[in-house]
Every structure is written in C-alpha cells, then in structure tokens.
Amino acid sequence: MSTVKARLAPVTGHRLFWPLVMLVVLLVANTVYRPSFLSVELKNGHLYGSLIDIVRLSAPLILVALGMSLVIATGGIDLSVGSVVAVSGAVACLYISEQPDQNSLGGVFTALALAFGIALLLGAWNGVLVAVIGIQPIIATLILMVAGRGLAQLITSGQIITINSEPYKTIGVGHLLTLPFAIIIALVVTVIVAVLTRRTALGMIIESVGGNAEASRLAGVRSRRITLLVYVVSAACAAIAGFMMTANVSSADGNAAGLWVELDAILAVVIGGTSLAGGRFFLSGTIVGALIIQTLTTSVYAMNIDPQTALLFKAVVVIAVCLIQAPAFRARFRRRKSLAPPPAPTAEKQKEQVPA
C-alpha cells in the first residue's frame, strides 16, 4: 500500500494533478448524464462535439487568462481586461460596419490592426499607472475597468453594432484544418506566450520581480519595463479575445462584451496554481483552469440546472476545486480519516439538455 502510494507520489504531488482530476470529474459527470457527451464526429470536414464546443468556447477565456497569468506573476492584477475586450470588439466592428464592402479582407485586417493598436495603448496606460506612477495595480486597472466600459459605449454610441462580415465571423465560428478557428488562435497565442516567457529569460525575470521586487532591482532587473510589458501583453490577449467574442455573435455590445471575464480569468489563473502574491506562474495550469470554468458553465446549461441557482452551483464547485488543491486542507482531511475524496459536483442530475 505504502509503496503504491510512494510510487504515485510524483503523480499526485504534481501541481496539475488536482485541477486535472476536477476536469475529469466534470467530464465524467457530463458523460454519465448524457453518454453521447464524449463523441466527436467529422461533418463536412469539420469536427463537431461537446468537447470541441467546450474548447472553442473557452478560447477567449484562455487568451485573457494567459495575459492575466503574467500580470499576476509580477504581483499585480488586471481588472480592466473585460473593458479591453469590449473596446477592441467595438472598434473593430465599428470600422467594419462603416466599410462599403464589409466582406473585404483588407477592411477587416485594417479593423483588427486598429483595434489591436488601441488595446496596446490601453495596456500601456495600465502599465504606466502601475510601473511609472506607482499606483497599486488593483486601483490602476480599476480605473480602466470603469472608464473602458464608458469608452466602449462611446464608440458604439450606446447601440449594439451589428455587422455582416464573413471574414470577421470566421474568427469566432470558422474552421481551419477541421478545427474551429478560435481553437487554433488560442493555440497559437498560447505557443507565442509560452515561447516568449520560457524560451527567453522573460518568464524568470517576471517571476523574480513578482517574487521580490526590491531584490530584483538590486540585481539590476529593469522591473519597470517588465511590469509595463506584462500589462501590454495582457491587453493584447484581451483584444484578441474581444475579436473572438464579437465575431461569435457578429455584433459589438459595449455593455455586455467581456463582462466579468476578468473574474473568470483570475479564477482560472488561481486554479492553475499561480499565487496571487506573485512569483512562479504556470501557463499550463491556467489553461486547465480556464477549461474547468468553461466545462462548468457548459455543464450547468447541459444539465439544465435552474439559471437562478447556476451561479451558486458554480461557486460551490470553484470552492471545492480551490480547497482540494490546498495542501493544508487535504492534510486535515487525511488526518481525520474522513470518507474518501471531496464531494464531486455530480450530485444533482436531471434529464434534458440545452446547448451551451
């Protein structure tokens, strides 16, 4: 018994173990409820299935959470990502809506470049407030969180801008190589962020700034630049997420686009094992965290849980995930020799399903 335990230790001790267990539990719960849940089929050269849907729908969250991971690793936080999502989506849609030919590739690319550029400026604004002026990150980004919504409203003149642009729509619902385009984008951005942080020294320097800012300064780290950079990267990720979200519905709603996404993103980062205090960050953990959150949302719809209790249900599961990850909690659990692992969120099951 103990040898089995010892042999399993490297697996169960891995920081991704519990988040992955949680993800699997959620997937199993869905499969029990609806056996066809796991099936993936090829139609017209496109892959379809609940699993694909979950990954596709979590793509924007993954993007936002990747940027958030870097910000949190420096000991900061970025509350403004939701607003950046709204602004970038609004700018892109507004520009396209004013084109004579909404389907022209050139117009769409110009719109994307313009919106992306504005998002970078917003990120730099955050970065300057935090790194140069020295405002606490939560306050500094709260400014843009509030002001950005207003800005997005201003851009859309308080209306919902609808567009009819095939190229733009592709970002959200198109396919490439049998996979939804959104998944490919998320994959590419993930690879870029991973290479940027782990193939250069950026990741280590970020962790060093987040781990001990003063010691980093005395070691010659240009921490201002690094801090500025992570807020820009965060805004860039949010902008791409904004394109995806607005392309999904071919419209920009300054009020609703990306609403509360910052909270989901922070949650994904924390579930992934990155400490809010800064320091070490784990991109793979963040992605698993984002997938858990999206799976949960999808399950709530699929299991036809009353919308009024859905948020509460989500909260309970999130608390469970966070608790089983905490070594102190597991130790207490073990000491009491209580019944086996924590409650899986499979308790309530009802028939019927609703598309996510």
Partner 1 sequence: MSQRHPVLTMTAISKHFPGVRALDGVDFRLFPGEVHALMGENGAGKSTLIKVLTGVYGTDAGTITLDGDQVSFAGPMQAAAAGVSTVYQEVNLCTNLSVAENIFIGREPRRFGAINWREMRRRAQEALARLDLHIDVSELLGSYSLAVQQMVAIARAVDVQARVLILDEPTSSLDADEVAQLLRIMRQLRDEGIAILFVTHFLDQVYGIADRITVLRNGRLVGEYLTAELPQLALVEKMIGKELDALEQLDSEAGRDAARAAEGTPLIEADGLGRAGAVAPFSLTIHAGEVVGMAGLLGSGRTEVARLFFGADRADKGRLVVDGKPTAIRNPIAAIDRDIAFCSENRRTEGLIGELSVRENIILAMQAARGWLRPVPRRKQDELVQRWIEALSIRPANPEMPVRNLSGGNQQKVLLARWLITEPRLLILDEPTRGIDIGAKTEIQRLVAQLSDGGMAVLFISAELEEVLRLSHKVAVMRDRQLVAQLTNDDSLDADRVMQAIASGVRQEGLEKV
CB 187 within 8 A of CB 66: no
The residue (of 179 and 192) whose beta carbon lies closer to partner 1 is 192
- Decide: helix, strand or coil at residue 75: coil
Closest separation in Å from C-beta 219 to partner 1: 5
The residue (of 277 and 347) whose beta carbon lies closer to partner 1 is 277
Strand pairing of 175-176 and 40-43? Answer: unpaired
Provide the Cα torsion 95, 240, 188, 273; round to 10°: 180
The residue (of 75 and 289) whose beta carbon lies closer to partner 1 is 75
Binding site for partner 1 (CB under 8 A): 199-202, 204-205, 207-208, 211-212, 214-222, 226, 279-280
As a whole number of Å, the end-to-end CA separation of the chain is 43
The residue (of 14 and 222) whose beta carbon lies closer to partner 1 is 222
Closest separation in Å from C-beta 217 to partner 1: 6
Closest separation in Å from C-beta 5 to partner 1: 15
- Please give the single-letter amino acid code of residue 172: G
Closest separation in Å from C-beta 221 to partner 1: 4
The residue (of 91 and 202) whose beta carbon lies closer to partner 1 is 202
For the four alpha carbons of 339, 343, 346 and 350, in that order, the dihedral sign comes to positive
- Decide: helix, strand or coil at residue 247: helix
φ, ψ (nearest 5 deg) of residue 133: -85, -25
How many angstroms separate the CA atoms of 204 and 28, rounded? 37
The residue (of 143 and 213) whose beta carbon lies closer to partner 1 is 213
Closest separation in Å from C-beta 319 to partner 1: 25
The residue (of 205 and 232) whose beta carbon lies closer to partner 1 is 205
CB 70 within 8 A of CB 234: yes
Closest separation in Å from C-beta 78 to partner 1: 20
Specify whether the backbone of 75 is left (phi greater than 0), alpha (psi in -120 to 50) or beta.
left
How many angstroms separate the CA atoms of 48 and 331, rounded? 42
Closest separation in Å from C-beta 106 to partner 1: 32
- Please give the single-letter amino acid code of residue 7: R
**Token pair of 310, please?**
């859905």
